[in-house]
Chain A
Amino acid sequence: MKTTPSASSLMSRENLYFLVLAALLLLVFPVLLDAFRLNLVGKYLTYAFVAVGLVLCWGKGGILSLGQGVFFGLGGYCMAMFLKLEASSPEATASQSTPGIPDFMDWNQVTELPWFWQPFHSFSFTLIAVVMVPVILAFIIGVAMFKRRVGGVYFAIITQAIAAILTILIIGQQGFTGGANGITDLRTLMGWDIRSNEAKTVLYFVTSGLLLACVLLARHVLGSKLGRILVAMRDQEDRVRFSGYDVASFKVFVFCLAAALSGIGGALFTLQVGFMSPSFVGIVPSIEMVIFCAVGGRHSLLGAVYGALLVNAAKTGFSESFPELWLYAMGALFIAVVLAFPNGIAGLYQRYLMPLEKKMLGGLGKAANTRPTAAARRMEETP
C-alpha cells in the first residue's frame, strides 16, 4: 500500500478534526450548557444527520435533493408512532370512545388502529422501520429517476414535489397521521420518561454518539473506491458509464444512504422534541437542510455538522428577536454562500485558517518529532 507523506499527514489531520468534534459534542457542550440549551443542541444535531447525508449525495455525488425532509420526517414519524402507541394504553385513554388508540384517531372517529400502525407496537420493528422506510422510498424514487437518467434540476424539482405531496398527504389523512398538528404528547420510551431533564441529557449523548458513528461510516464510504466513483460521476458521468459502471446503481445507493441517515436523524428529533409534525417534512425544512449543508461546506462531512449547528443556533437566536425576518435572513445566507463561499465554512477554514494552523503546528511538529525518539531511547534503556 502506497501512502504518500502528504496523504498520511492528511489522514491524521482528519482524525484530529474528528476528535475535536467529538470532544466538543461529548465534553465541551455538556459541561458548558444547561439542560435546556443542551437539548437544543441535541435537536440541531439531528439535522446534522441529514446534512452529512447531503454531503454524500450532493457534495460528492452531485445529486441535489430538495426533499430530504421527507426521509427525516418518515424516520421521525416511525418513532413517533411507536411512542404514541405506548402513550395510548387502554388505561391512559380510558375516557376515549375507543380506548387504546391514539387520541387524534378517536377525535377523528377512527375506531380501530389502522393496519400500518399495528407493527409499531414493537420497538425492534420501529428501529428497523426508522431506517428502512426512508430507504425503501429512496430506492423507489432512485430507481424510477436514475434509471431513466433524470438528474440535475429535474431531480431536485421532483424531490421537492414529493416533499409537498407527503406533507399534503399527512395533513389530509388527519385520522391516521394526526394531521397538521402531527403526533404529539409523546411521553415514554419503554417506560422511560423522555420528558425529564436526565432523559434529555441521555438522548443528547445518544444523538452525539450516533452522529459521530454516522460521520465515521460516511468517511469510510468516501474513503473507498465508491467515494472516488461518486466524485468521478459528478465530474464526468458519461466517462464513468463508459468505464463499465452502472451509474444509476451508484446514485441509488448514495441516495438511499443519505435517506437512511436522515431517517435516523428524524427519529432522534422526535425523541428529543417529544413530537413530530408535517412542518418538518415539507419544502421549507427540506431547503433549510440543504442550506445547513451548503453553509457548512457541501464537500466536508464535519463542515456539514458545524453548518447544521451554526445555522440552527442563528435561527433560534434570530427567531427569538425577529421571527418574521428569519426566512429572509436564511435566503440571504444561502445566496451569499452560493455566490461567495461555494465551499462554505469548511472552504473558508481551509483557505484562511489552515495556513495559520500549519505554521503553528509546524513548530509543534518539530518539537513533537524529537519527543518519540527520546521516549523510544528511554524505553530501550529500561531493562
Chain B
Amino acid sequence: MSTSRDFILTVEGLTVSFDGFKAVNDLSLYLEHNEIRVIIGPNGAGKTTVLDLICGKTRATDGAIRFKGQELTRMKEHQIVRSGVGRKFQNPSIYDDLTVFENLEVSYPRGRSVMGALAFRRDQQVLDAVHEVAETIFLADQLDCRADLLSHGQKQWLEIGMLLIQKPDLLMLDEPVAGMSVAERKKTAELLKVITRNHTVLVIEHDMQFVGDIADRVTVMHQGQVLSEGSLAHVKADPKVVEVYLGH
C-alpha cells in the first residue's frame, strides 16, 4: 500500500453495522488531490452511507478515515466541516425561508460561533464572495429571491454554492443531477468541471452519461463493498459489474 501522504482522503476498513446489518463493510477508498471520483452502484449499495460516515453524520463501527492527516471518525460534525469537508445531501437542503443571498451568507465560513454570529458584519469580502459564487452557480440574478421559489435544479446548484463559499478541500455530492432536466444536467457538468480545478470531489451518481463526462475514476459499490474501481471504461468491462447490473 502506498503512503497516505499522497492522498487527501484515505478510508480503510470502514464498516458500519445497523443492528447487525452491515450497510458498509470493510470498505477502503483512496482519493488524490483534485481528483473527481464517482461512486456508482445499485440502490441500497451503501453509497450515501459512505458519505454519512465521512462527514460524521453516521458513526463508524470500525475502520479509519484520514483526511489531510486528521482522523475524522472521532471528530464532531462541525469540526469535520471546519477541517475542509463539504457535503451536499441527496435532497436539496437549503433554507427555504431565506433569500439566495442569505443562504450563501449563512454558509460563509466566518462568525461560526454564537458571539461571532452576533458580531458578523456583511462587509465587502462577504459581498464579493457571495457574488462570485452566485455567478458560478448561475444564480447571480436570483440573489434576492426566496430560496423556496427556485426550481429544483436551481436549489441543487444553490446547495453546491453553499459548499463552494466555504472553500472546502473535499466536496462530496450525493446525486447532484437527480431530477434535473437535460439542459440542467449539462450545466451542472460544466459547473463541476469548473469546481474541480481546485477541489477534490467525491460524487455519487447514476447517470452514466454524466459520469462519463466528469469522472477521473469510478468506484462501483455493491452490498457495502467495493466491487470494482478504475476508469469508467474499465469498470464497465468488469464482468463482476456487468453481473450485478444485469442481475439487477
- Pairwise interchain contact A238-B89, C-beta atoms closer than 8 A: yes
Contacts of A246 in B (CB 8 A): 76, 78, 112-113
Contacts of B78 in A (CB 8 A): 241-242, 244-247
Q: Which residue of B lies closest to A239 (CB)?
A: B93
- Pairwise interchain contact B114-A232, C-beta atoms closer than 8 A: no
A231 is an interface residue with CB less than 8 A from chain B? yes
Contacts of A231 in B (CB 8 A): 95, 97-98
Contacts of B113 in A (CB 8 A): 246, 249
Contact of B55 among A2, A228, A242 (CB under 8 A): A242
Q: Within the assembled complex, what's the spacing in Å between the Cα atoms of A228 and B127?
A: 16
Contact of A236 among B87, B95, B111, B114 (CB under 8 A): B95
A233-260 CB contact bits vs B (8 Å, 1 = yes)?
A: 0111011111111110110010000000
Contacts of B82 in A (CB 8 A): 244
A225 is an interface residue with CB less than 8 A from chain B? yes
- Pairwise interchain contact A244-B112, C-beta atoms closer than 8 A: yes
Total interface residues on B, using CB and 8 Å?
A: 36
Q: Within the assembled complex, what's the spacing in Å between the Cα atoms of A229 and B117?
A: 8
Size band of the A side of the interface? 20 to 34
Q: Within the assembled complex, what's the spacing in Å between the Cα atoms of A99 and B247?
A: 90
Q: Within the assembled complex, what's the spacing in Å between the Cα atoms of A224 and B103?
A: 14
- Pairwise interchain contact A238-B93, C-beta atoms closer than 8 A: yes
- Pairwise interchain contact B106-A232, C-beta atoms closer than 8 A: yes
Contacts of B55 in A (CB 8 A): 242
Contact of B98 among A6, A221, A232 (CB under 8 A): A232
Known: A1-B122, A225-B111, A226-B117. 10 other contacts (CB 8 A): A224-B120, A228-B106, A235-B96, A236-B93, A238-B57, A239-B159, A239-B162, A241-B77, A243-B106, A244-B166
Q: Which residue of B lies closest to A220 (CB)?
A: B118
- Show the binding face of B for A, using Cβ within 8 Å: 55, 57, 76-78, 81-82, 86-87, 89, 93-98, 102-103, 105-107, 109, 111-114, 117-120, 122, 127, 144, 159, 162, 166
Contacts of B109 in A (CB 8 A): 244
Contacts of A253 in B (CB 8 A): 114
Closest CB-CB distance, B212 to chain A, in whole Å? 29
Q: Within the assembled complex, what's the spacing in Å between the Cα atoms of A157 and B62?
A: 36
- Pairwise interchain contact B117-A250, C-beta atoms closer than 8 A: yes
Contacts of A124 in B (CB 8 A): none
Closest CB-CB distance, A218 to chain B, in whole Å? 13
Q: Within the assembled complex, what's the spacing in Å between the Cα atoms of A224 and B119?
A: 7
Closest CB-CB distance, B80 to chain A, in whole Å? 8
Q: Which residue of B lies closest to A2 (CB)?
A: B127
Q: Within the assembled complex, what's the spacing in Å between the Cα atoms of A240 and B103?
A: 10
Contacts of A221 in B (CB 8 A): 118
- Pairwise interchain contact A249-B95, C-beta atoms closer than 8 A: no
Contacts of B119 in A (CB 8 A): 224
Given A228-B98, A228-B102, A235-B97: A243 touches B118 (CB 8 Å cut-off): no
Q: Within the assembled complex, what's the spacing in Å between the Cα atoms of A236 and B158?
A: 14
A95 is an interface residue with CB less than 8 A from chain B? no
Contacts of A6 in B (CB 8 A): 144
A203-227 CB contact bits vs B (8 Å, 1 = yes)?
A: 0000000000000000001001110
Could you list some 19 contacts between A and B, CB below 8 A? A2-B122, A225-B106, A225-B117, A226-B117, A228-B102, A229-B106, A231-B98, A232-B103, A234-B97, A235-B97, A239-B89, A239-B93, A240-B106, A242-B87, A243-B81, A243-B107, A244-B81, A244-B166, A246-B112
Closest CB-CB distance, B81 to chain A, in whole Å? 4
A321 is an interface residue with CB less than 8 A from chain B? no
A255-285 CB contact bits vs B (8 Å, 1 = yes)?
A: 0000000000000000000000000000000
Contacts of B159 in A (CB 8 A): 239
Contact of A242 among B81, B111, B112, B144 (CB under 8 A): B81
Closest CB-CB distance, B149 to chain A, in whole Å? 14
Closest CB-CB distance, B232 to chain A, in whole Å? 29
Q: Which residue of B lies closest to A234 (CB)?
A: B97
- Pairwise interchain contact A224-B144, C-beta atoms closer than 8 A: no
Q: Within the assembled complex, what's the spacing in Å between the Cα atoms of A245 and B80?
A: 11
Q: Which residue of B lies closest to A250 (CB)?
A: B114
Closest CB-CB distance, B191 to chain A, in whole Å? 19
Q: Within the assembled complex, what's the spacing in Å between the Cα atoms of A244 and B98?
A: 18
- Pairwise interchain contact A236-B94, C-beta atoms closer than 8 A: yes
- Pairwise interchain contact B144-A4, C-beta atoms closer than 8 A: yes
Closest CB-CB distance, B211 to chain A, in whole Å? 24
Q: Within the assembled complex, what's the spacing in Å between the Cα atoms of A241 and B27?
A: 26
- Pairwise interchain contact B120-A225, C-beta atoms closer than 8 A: yes
Q: Which residue of A lies closest to B127 (CB)?
A: A2
Closest CB-CB distance, B115 to chain A, in whole Å? 9
Closest CB-CB distance, A229 to chain B, in whole Å? 6
Which A residues from 312 to 332 make CB contacts under 8 A with B? none
Contacts of A225 in B (CB 8 A): 105-106, 111, 117-118, 120
